[in-house]
Structures are given as structure tokens and as C-alpha cells.
Structure 1
């Protein structure tokens, strides 16, 4: 503008008045305001253009406040001139993408309906109304066609009477009342109001037709009563009982025939009613399927395969911890950890409080689950809850076993130390810790633990504790140290036949035959009660029968006889 001689193309042509604006021109301007009548667009300081809302965006907007949000005052936009009215100084503009080539003012992410979709919806509603009107018309046409056919048949009959009965001059008068009644009636078309719909007009016409049909039916009944008089006898052989089907009926129009075909198709498309046999067969089939399903559900050997199956099982046996644990395992196989937790919590709420062992089984399963799939925090939370609701010692022991089985030896040892402080007087705690240490190969620690146990436990428990430690030594530790423990115990308590029996059993499994025979020889020479001596002689004889020879068997028998003779001699004296 400043240099008119320049050959560069002017991007924004200067608009001073309405003469500078042409239809189809792309112009740039600023948004002045958004009003209910549209968006006012400033093309220059003296010229304003208007953009109707349907030309702002292709989307249908109900709230105009949305336009104010996306069209703030002073926003620079490109618009297309749709029309120019120089007389009234009006300029119609458009911001639609198809007109300006720019993206839509309103983004697609708003999910607004398009104007064309709204128009389609309105057109669909109008088409539905038109279809309803057509249906009403077809109903009326069918009624008209039926009455016209009857009228045509009666008119044909009257013509036949005229041909074949020349004697009767007024035979046509017999049918005149019928003809008058059956003739199609001219419809009175009321002038419809401007606001009246076509459907209402047809409804009113149908009401009038119904009233007229009722009057016609009354007249027919009167005619029938009159016609009860004796029939006219004609000599020409005309029969009044002629079948109406013999009379040729004019062919229906193409439109009426198509309508009848449509009715037949509708009847064919409807599902046929089942016969009694078909219904019975279907019923039997359903009963068989139900029987199969019930038999499968009642089968005790059937394994549950779905969550519903498990639900049925736990409903039938709510206090069975085995079923609840299987239900948990089912979810764990599908890696549904949360569902398995939910099943465990549900089991704890469902199982009766009297079933302590069943509840403890579920708690142990939940501890295992948290140990494998949870964190240390979740495990400790479950452990604390389990201690509150069960015997603490059992819960501690189970958690120690869980740690040991999952090779978390450090946590297990820490827990054992806690147990030794909390349950010092419990023999089982010392024995479980000893077993744990021996499995880890810590024999020296086991020996020290035995000394601590003998100090902590009461004296009456010492013999049992020593024998149990000795058995553990035989299984997991040093057999020689175990023998020494047994020998020292038996030397202190020689009449403890239970310790002798345990020692014999262990030596039969782990010792040599010579060592076993030495133990038996020592036992049979003790001064014990006859019943106990009989028990040991019998065991000795059974051992020799199994592992010895005839000589050793004979030696045991002779020793038994000597013992009996010695006892009898003492009794006599």
C-alpha cells in the first residue's frame, strides 16, 4: 500500500467501504462481538460483517457461550464473503473450513454433532411420519377394495337375474337395497386446519367410517329379516343356491394384488406354531440336559473348573479349609493374586469360630501367599493379625517353616530367637530350632542350644529333650554324639524302657548288628518288671528271627528260660 508501484502481491487488500468487498472474496478481520444473532466481524474501522452461527462451524452448538470461549474479542480470522447488500450495507461472511480452507473454529475433540447429522435426524423423523400416513392410507384402501369387490359381485348377480328371469320385471329391485348399502361411499373430506396433521384427519375419517359401517350392518340385518319370506320359484331352472365362487370376479388391480402378496409374505415370515409332539420332544430334550447337568454337579469325583463351581462347593461346605485353599490355588494358577487374597479373607469370615484348625489352615495359606507374591510389610501385617486370632506359638512355628522352605534363613533365625525369648518354657520351640540348625549343618550351635534348653526347661522335661536331640543328631547330625547322648541318659535313667525302645529302634535302622545285640543283652539282664522283660525278650527273638541264625535264636530262647527259672526260684524261696 505504501509503495503502489511494487509488484509484490498484497496479502490483505485494504477495505475502506463496502464497494471494496466482493462475493467469494477471502478477507481477514477481527472478531468484534458474539451476539444471539451471530458473530460480528470487523473488516475495517468502518465496516462490519455478520457471520451466522451455521456458518461459523460445521458443528451444532446449543450453548452460544461456547462461541464466546473459542471466539474471543479481537481474534484474527480469515472469512469468505457469501453475500454483499450494498443498499443496506450488509456483508454476510462464513468461517466454515470448506469455504476458507482453514481448520474449524471448534475442535473435533468436543464431540459435537454436525449440522448434516442433525438434518438427517429431522429428515428421518419426517420420513417416519410419512410412512405412518401411508400405512393408514393402505388400511383404508384395503377396506375400500373389499367393499368394491362385494358390490361388483352383487351387480353381476343382478345382471344374471335380468338375463335369466324375464318374467319378473322388477327383480333388480330385490337387490337395490343391498346395492345401495354396499356401494362405495364418497368420503367427506373436512377442510383441515393449518396446524392439523394428516394423521389426525385420517383418524377422524376412520371414526366416521366405523359409524357408517355400524349403521349399514343394522340395515343389513333388517333386510335379512325381510328376506326370510319364501323364495321365488322360476321355471327356467335358475337356482338361488348358486355358489358365489362360480361367478367370475374381475381381476384385482396390480396394486391390490401386490398388497395381498405382502400380507402373505408377512404371514409366512411369522414363526409357525409348534405341534404338541414338537413341544413334548423339546421338553424332553431340555429335561435330559438338566439331568446331565445335575448329575455332573452331584458327582463327587468331578473337579471344579470355574469360579462358579468353587462357589457352589464352598456354599455346600463352608467350614472346609481344603475347598477354600483349592479355590485360592485356582486363582493363583491364573495369576489372580488379588482374587486369591479376597477368597482367603472371605474364608476367614465364613468359617465358624469353633473350627480353629480350619481357620489356622487358611491363615497359613495366606501367609504363604504373602511370602511368595507380597512384600515384607504385607506379610508382617497378616502375621500380626494371625497372632491375634490364633494361638501365637502355632503361628510363629508355621511362619518359621515358611521362611525355611523358601530359603529365607536369616529371617527364620531371627524369628527363632524371638520365639526362644517369648516361649522359653515350650519344649517344641527348642526342638524346632535344633532341627533348623542341624539342617543348616550347625552341629556346634546345636550342642550349645541343648545346654541352654536344659537350663531353661524344667527338670522333668530333660530326659525327653535329650532323647529328642539325640534322635535329631542321628537324622541330621553326628551319630556318635547321638549314641553318647543315649548312653549317658540310660546310665542315669536305666529303668526308662521308653528310652531303651527308642534307642533300639534307631540302632536297628542306623547301627550294626553287633551294636544292636549288645543293647538287647544289656536290657535283658536288667532287673525290670516281668511284663517289660517279656516285651524285650519278644523283641529280641523277633530280631534274631529276621536277621540272625538258628544258634542266635536258640540262645535268646535259653536266656528267656533262665530268666523265668530264676524268677520262679525267687518266688518259691
Structure 2
């Protein structure tokens, strides 16, 4: 049964919700139906399916008409560069639980993060991906390095400005040019021509000239002239530099016969020391906030460590809880490691992947189970083989199913594998394949009574009564004589359950007339008639049994059953009648013994 939601453009939308199929039922709805944005509330946990994954995020379907986008930063706590990784772990149609972070008129903000949903991360920890908080710490470290570089640059600029201010009487940003005018020594005096002869541009500009004389008594005889120029226009300065280089190349070279030394002033020696002290004090002031930052980061790291330790303690406590249900693949891995021979755990592991439509992973789990379970645990291995056959029947092809079936026949008892596959075909309504397989079984296992009985049950469920009657004749011919009574009895029981009760009674009557002392057949016949027959028919059977010439112990058993039946369904008179019949039987037996 299903509920038709709509039928538009040749497309039919169906629903299997119990609230749709049985609207009068009072069962609690696990997933509330969502038709519009108004049905979604902030902080709500809802389930839905993955629609698609693009470069802008994960598109998540809350219903057939409502799709929302989840940003990658809200999908997983890990930093992923290649979005193709999400497509691997978030296939289309995967069922997930999300939390509603915010709702507007047109948009819904969702989150898949474990701290929001309480579910494990969609990306496993085994991938060793960096977390978003680690990336933020890297960004902070890069910002610190950049700030330190900027501080170093500012220091250099300060040093340059201080060196420019060392020339007295000039603006810090003014350009200064120096020209050597004369060099005169006491021992070998020599002079140069005035600057106007060598630099005609100076005559036009007429700059202010100042003479710097050393304070020391030992005069070196060097006269230095300099002039100021504003550095506003860079193009004019470049032009003047070119012209000066040309003029300077035309001037004769200065020749000095003796070497000379510059006399250093005491004030000039003291200035660098002062500058160094100022720089050291500034560096200390700049290092103080850095040390504070380091202290803060240490505290933050300690807090993070404490948080991680608390989380680990919680996880360990949860893992130690025996009543905890596994919620992820890692949980199942731990369980199967602790109990590798338990087929129930392996089947639950397969079902976990099948719920998420991860067929290949379910197959891989089944193969792992077959390799892991001990070879002595035949039934446990058979359970896994049957589960794998079911998986291939539902999600695989006929070829893959036959391959698994052939392997299962090799590693298990063939008859059991055949019977399980027949049941799988019958349950999945593949009746043609099931009937073909039964014919193969009748040829291969014709001496096995269970094969004939299972095929008879299959035919009766399909309503093929005549085919069942013919099958009984074939079974009596194929099976040994000692099995005939039991086979007829079992066929009669199947007729009572799925076929014609009258034909079943006829089978029992014919068998009891041939074998009247088979008390087991009488007991089966009584039980079936008590369930399916009338009280008159049951009393007739009891009357026939108590008048048989059987052993006293067996007669006592039937009298007791007859009395219990009358106490339950009869009257006081019928109970007295059974007691009188029992006394008569005892008296006759005692009289025969005395004689």
C-alpha cells in the first residue's frame, strides 16, 4: 500500500508514511512532514537526503519540494581542499540528520557538524585532515610574522630619518648635495677652481652656501659647500642628475699627493650610542606585547588540552557502556574485533551500511566476516552466506547472485544453501526461479524427505493442490518405505494449513486405518482437529481411540487427554462419562488379568 501525493506530467509521487496510510493511528511520527519553510524551526533536528554537491556547498533535501544548501564549513570540522572527497562520503540519496541553525523567509541554514547534530562526522578521522581551528592558528601566526616585519621596517625608517637629522639647520626630508671645493694642506697646499667655473648651473640657481669648519685645531684644509633643494618634483631631479654627471665628467680629476684623515667629532661619536639605547628601549617595549601574546596562547592551549581530555573521557565512558548502540563504522569495527565469530554483529554491520545505501561497503563487510569467522563455526558462517545471498538478490544482478551461490555451495552443506536460496526466491516473489531450483533439488537430493516437504509447502502456498497430490505420489516412490507414514502425515498437516482440510482428513483416516496402533499419528490428528475441527469430530476421534486395544500406559495417556478436553470444553455430564469409560476399561483389564 502507498499514498499518492500528486500526478503531474506523467510523474506520480508516492508516500509510504504511516501517517498518510493510517491517519487515524495514534503512533508518534518520527520524522515530521515538511512542506514549506514555515514547518522548519531554529534548533530543530531533522532528517533528509543529500541531493547534490557543488563548489558552493552541499544541497540537502528536507522534502520533495524543499532543498537547502549547507556551507562546507558546516558540513565537517575538517578542512577539505578537494570537494570531490565530499562526493565520495556523501553520495546522492544518503540519509543524514541535520540541525537548523537559522530560518529566514527564503533561506534555511543547516549544519552537519557533530557538535550540532550529536552524530559522528561525515568524514572519518582516519583521513587525518586538518581541522578548521588549526587553520585559524596558522593564520594568526602568519599575521604575527607580518606585524613583526612591519615593525622592523618602521625601525629602519626611523634610523634613516635620524641620520638625516644629523645635519644641523636643515629639514629632515630636504635633499643635500656636497661639493669639494678646496683641499689645502700645510705641507703641500693646493686648491681647486671655484664652483662656478666647474658647475655653471650653480650660478643660475644661486643656492645658499655655508662653510663647515672642523672644531679641531688640526685643520685638514678641506672646505665643503652644500646646498638645499626641495624634493618635490622627481623628474626635475633626474634631469639635474644627468646634467651634473655630464658636467662633472668634463672637470679635471683631483690629484692629492698625500693621504688625509677625517677628524671625528666627539658629539658624532656619542650620537650612535644614544640611538642604540633608544632602539633597545623601543625593542623592549615592542617585545612586551609579544610575550603577553605568547602567555595568552599558552593559556589557550592549556584550555584546549583540558577540553580535549574531557571529550576523550566522555568517549571512553560511552564506549565502556555495554548498552550503547553502535552509531558509526568505527563502533562496529570495535565490536567485531571483540567478538569476531558473532554473525549477529556482522549482519548488523552490513545492515548499517545498507541503511546508508552503501552496497559495496556492505559486500566488503560480508567478505571480511567470511574471512574472520573461525572455520569451526559453520552455522555462523552460513548465516553470513545467507545474508550475502539476500544482498545480491535485492541489490545485485542474477550473475552476481549465482556466483555467490556457487561459492556458498562449495563452503557449506549444499542442501542448506539450496533451501535458503529457495526461501529467498519465494520471499522476494520470484516464483519461477524458485520452482526451477526446486526441480534441481528433487533431482540432486531425491532421497531427502525435507526437500519434498518444502516443495509441497511451496506448491500449496501457490494454490497448486493437484500438483501437490502428484508430488506426494512421486515422494512415496522415491523415498524408502519406513518414511512413508511420516511423509503422509506431514503432507496432511500441510493440507490442513494451506490446502484442503477434507483431503487432509482423508489422508489421516487412510493412514490410521492402515496403521491403527501408531499413537503418534493419533496424537497429531487429535491436535489438528482440536485446532481446526468441530467438537463432535474431536469427541468421535477420542471415542475411537479409547476403544482400541493398546498398552495400558498409552490408554492412560489418551484417557487423560480426553478428560482434560471435556473439562475445558465440555460439561459435567461429559466429564462423568469419560470417568465411567475409564473405570470400565480398568475393570475389563482387571477381569482379564484374574481370568
TM-score by length of 2: 0.53
Query: What are the within-5 Å matches in structure 2 for residues 429-508 of structure 1?
Result: 429-508=451-530
- Mapped to 1, the partners of 2:450 and 2:285 lie a distance apart of 94
- Mapped to 2, the partners of 1:289 and 1:346 lie a distance apart of 31
Query: What are the within-5 Å matches in structure 2 for residues 368-379 of structure 1?
Result: 368-379=390-401
Alignment size in residue pairs: 332
Deviation, 1:489, is 0.4
Residue in 1 aligned with 2:404? 382
Q: Does 1:513 align with 2:535?
A: yes
Q: Does 1:339 align with 2:361?
A: yes
SS of match in other structure, 2:295 = coil
Cα 1:331/1:566, change in 2 over 3 Å = same
Deviation, 1:317, is 0.4
Say which is worse superposed, 475-484 or 558-567, in terms of deviation: 558-567
- Mapped to 2, the partners of 1:333 and 1:402 lie a distance apart of 20
- Mapped to 1, the partners of 2:285 and 2:317 lie a distance apart of 52
- Mapped to 2, the partners of 1:499 and 1:416 lie a distance apart of 28
Deviation, 1:513, is 0.2
- Mapped to 2, the partners of 1:378 and 1:273 lie a distance apart of 59
Cα deviation 1:360-412 (Å, max 9, x = unaligned):
00000000000001000000000000000000000000000000000000000
- Mapped to 2, the partners of 1:522 and 1:330 lie a distance apart of 58
Residue in 1 aligned with 2:294? 270
Say which of 536, 540, 553 aligns to 2:562: 540
Deviation, 1:357, is 0.3
Deviation, 1:251, is 11
What RMSD, in angstroms, separates the aligned Cα atoms of the two structures?
Answer: 2.9
Cα deviation 1:488-512 (Å, max 9, x = unaligned):
0001111111100000000000000
Q: Does 1:423 align with 2:475?
A: no
Deviation, 1:290, is 4.1
Residue in 2 aligned with 1:224? none
Say which of 317, 321, 324 aligns to 2:346: 324
- Unaligned 5+ residue runs, structure 1? 1-127, 142-249
Cα deviation 1:3-42 (Å, max 9, x = unaligned):
xxxxxxxxxxxxxxxxxxxxxxxxxxxxxxxxxxxxxxxx
- Mapped to 2, the partners of 1:295 and 1:306 lie a distance apart of 16
- Unaligned 5+ residue runs, structure 2? 1-145, 160-273
- Mapped to 2, the partners of 1:501 and 1:539 lie a distance apart of 10
Cα deviation 1:400-451 (Å, max 9, x = unaligned):
0000000000000000000000000000000000000000000000000000
Q: Going by fraction, where is strand more abundant, 1 or 2? A: 2
SS of match in other structure, 2:548 = coil
Deviation, 1:271, is 2.4
- Mapped to 1, the partners of 2:305 and 2:286 lie a distance apart of 35
Residue in 1 aligned with 2:594? 572
Deviation, 1:256, is 4.5
Q: Larger Cα Rg: Structure 1 or Structure 2?
A: 1
- Mapped to 2, the partners of 1:340 and 1:321 lie a distance apart of 14
Residue in 1 aligned with 2:580? 558
Residue in 2 aligned with 1:242? none
- Mapped to 2, the partners of 1:405 and 1:501 lie a distance apart of 32
Deviation, 1:253, is 7.0
- Mapped to 2, the partners of 1:311 and 1:442 lie a distance apart of 48
Residue in 2 aligned with 1:531? 553
Deviation, 1:534, is 0.8
Cα 1:288/1:254, change in 2 over 3 Å = closer
SS of match in other structure, 1:352 = coil
